[in-house]
């Protein structure tokens, strides 16, 4: 596949978001062709083990969003 050079620094913020959304939509449409890297499975296994051992807790999405908002404000 040929490399495509895009003058990203010259794009507006909106154009960058549009480009990112187009790339994401294309990647999701071809998800069967995507493989997670090996390290990803290791991290997920570590997190699941920590949850099972009671070392971490989970929050529902609404609680998590509120906590994130407080931490970045």
Confidence of residue 73 (pLDDT cuts 50, 70, 90): confident
pTM of the model: 0.47
Q: Angle at CA 62, nearest 5°, toward 58 and 66?
A: 95
Looking at residue 27, what is its pLDDT?
84
pLDDT single digits (tens) 5-61: 989 999 999 999 999 999 999 888 877 777 888 999 999 999 999 999 999 999 999
Q: What is the pLDDT of residue 31?
A: 75
pLDDT at residue 1 is higher than 80? no
Per DSSP, helices labelled H in the chain are: 13-29, 38-52, 61-72
């Amino acid at each position: 596949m040929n490399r495509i050079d895009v003058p990203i620094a010259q794009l507006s913020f909106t154009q960058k978001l549009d480009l990112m959304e187009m790339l994401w939509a294309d990647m999701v449409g071809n998800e069967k062709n995507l493989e997670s890297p090996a390290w990803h499975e290791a991290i997920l296994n570590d997190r699941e083990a920590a949850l099972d051992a009671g070392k971490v807790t989970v929050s529902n999405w609404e609680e998590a969003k509120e906590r994130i908002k407080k931490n970045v404000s």
